């Protein structure tokens, strides 16, 4: 169960994601870009609170904003989460290589067992 | 990542102090168990293509010790050891695992639960790596992340498209 090392530079993004209200905001934005009013309505929070959470999310780069007329439109940016995505994928590949070898061993065991007619089923 | 396809290991992070590895094998579980617990068979797959496995000691009983070592292509020895805590033949092995290169290796040992489930002649292998603390898990993945790993992982599912 050999684990790999990978440096991450975005610990803040992971901390930002851990807060329940911010999770709700990200959940809402996962469905697409939304104006702040829409988020206020969905979360049932006062606008200053929503704005505060959005500011934290913007600071770590998880949320981006643009002006559209008089509206501020917010959208999700997953890139700050990429280090963990990469780590999990690397770890998966390392286990897959190991298990590919196990497949070869198992094929031989199956053939041997069939050859002996010794199945216990 | 909830779907397991045969031939691909799937890694998920069920909690802040856990890592779960899952893989399906086209063999009945007693053969998978045999390949996991027989030293000369373990030597053929465990070290993958990282190096040659030099030690596969397995004293397969509760309280018994195990030790695996390999020599990497650079000539370094990489070794792990631990103790068996629970053994249900063909179904389940619980053991500790310490990486010998880590400080306080035994104090920071993980507990690995290997589970074999058979259906239609195929076996699903899961390995749950339970770290003693979140900090140790964070050391294992060397990420420096403090909290929110699982949440982050959940979002990866939703936002994966933005990585492309």
In a domain, residue B2? The reply is: no
Q: Please tell me the predicted confidence (pLDDT) of residue A27.
A: 85
Out of A8, A30, A113, the one facing B158 most closely (by C-beta) is A30
Q: How close does chain B come to A62, measured CA to CA in Å?
A: 11
Ranges of chain B with pLDDT below 70: 1-7, 134-135, 137-164
Q: Note whether residue B114 is domain-resident.
A: yes
Task: List pLDDT tens digits, range A5-36.
Answer: 333 334 567 677 777 888 889 888 988 899 99
Of the pLDDT bands very low, low, confident and very high (cuts 50, 70, 90), residue A111 is: very high
Question: How is chain A split into domains, by residue range?
Answer: 11-77, 81-116
Which carries the bigger pLDDT value, residue B131 or residue A49? Answer: A49
Asked if residue B1 is part of any domain, the answer here is no
Is residue B44 situated within a structural domain? yes
Confidence check: pLDDT of A48 > 70: yes
The ipTM of this complex is: 0.77
Burial of A89 (0-12, 13-18, 19+ CB in 10 A): exposed
Please determine, for residue A99, whether its predicted confidence score (pLDDT) is greater than 90.
yes
Residue B140, domain extent: 10-163
Residues of A in Cβ contact (< 8 Å) with B5: none
Please name the CATH architecture into which domain A11-77 falls. Answer: Orthogonal Bundle (1.10)
Residue B3 domain flag: no
CB pairs under 8 A between A and B: 153
Dist CA B52 CA A20 (whole Å): 47
Q: What's the full length of chain A, in residues?
A: 121
Query: In chain B, how many domains are there?
Result: 1
Q: Which residues contact B131 (CB under 8 A, 6 or more apart)?
A: B17, B18, B19, B110, B137, B140
Of B141, B155, B162, the CB nearest to A3: B141
DSSP state of B29: H
For residue A101, the model assigns a pLDDT of 93
Q: Which of B8, B9, B148 sits opposite A14 (nearest CB)?
A: B148
pLDDT at B65: 98
Residues of chain A with pLDDT > 90, as a percent, come to 43
In a domain, B4, yes or no: no
CATH of the domain at B79: 3.30.530.20
Give pLDDT tens digits for B6-41. 467 888 877 778 888 899 999 999 999 999 999 999
Query: What per-residue confidence (pLDDT) applies to B19?
Result: 85
Alpha helices by DSSP H, listed for chain B, are: 29-37, 39-45, 134-141, 149-159
């Amino acid at each position: 169960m050999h684990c790999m090392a990978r440096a991450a530079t975005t610990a803040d993004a992971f901390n930002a994601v851990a807060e329940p209200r911010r999770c709700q905001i990200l959940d809402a934005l996962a469905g697409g870009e939304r104006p702040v009013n829409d988020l206020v309505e969905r979360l049932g929070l006062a606008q200053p609170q929503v704005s505060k959470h959005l500011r934290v999310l913007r600071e770590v780069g998880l949320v981006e904003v643009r002006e559209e007329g008089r509206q501020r439109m917010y959208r999700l940016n997953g890139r700050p989460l990429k280090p963990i995505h990469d780590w999990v994928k690397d770890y998966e590949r390392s286990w897959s290589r190991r298990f590919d070898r196990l497949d070869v061993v198992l094929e031989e065991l199956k053939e041997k067992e069939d050859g002996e007619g010794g199945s216990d089923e | 990542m909830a779907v397991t396809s045969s031939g691909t290991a799937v890694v998920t992070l069920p909690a802040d102090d856990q890592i779960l590895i899952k893989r399906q094998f086209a063999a009945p579980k007693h053969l998978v168990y045999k390949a996991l617990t027989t030293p000369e068979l373990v030597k053929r797959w465990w070290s993958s293509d990282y190096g040659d496995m030099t030690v596969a000691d397995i004293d397969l009983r509760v309280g018994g010790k195990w030790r695996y070592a390999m020599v990497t292509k650079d000539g370094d020895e990489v070794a792990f050891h631990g103790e068996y805590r629970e053994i249900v033949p063909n179904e389940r092995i619980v053991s500790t695992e310490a990486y010998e290169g880590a400080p306080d290796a035994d104090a920071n040992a993980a507990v690995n639960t290997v589970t074999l489930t058979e259906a239609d002649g195929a076996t699903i292998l899961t390995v749950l790596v339970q770290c003693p603390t979140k900090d140790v898990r964070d050391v294992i993945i060397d990420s420096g992340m403090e909290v929110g790993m699982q949440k982050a992982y959940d979002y990866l599912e939703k936002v994966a498209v933005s990585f492309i």
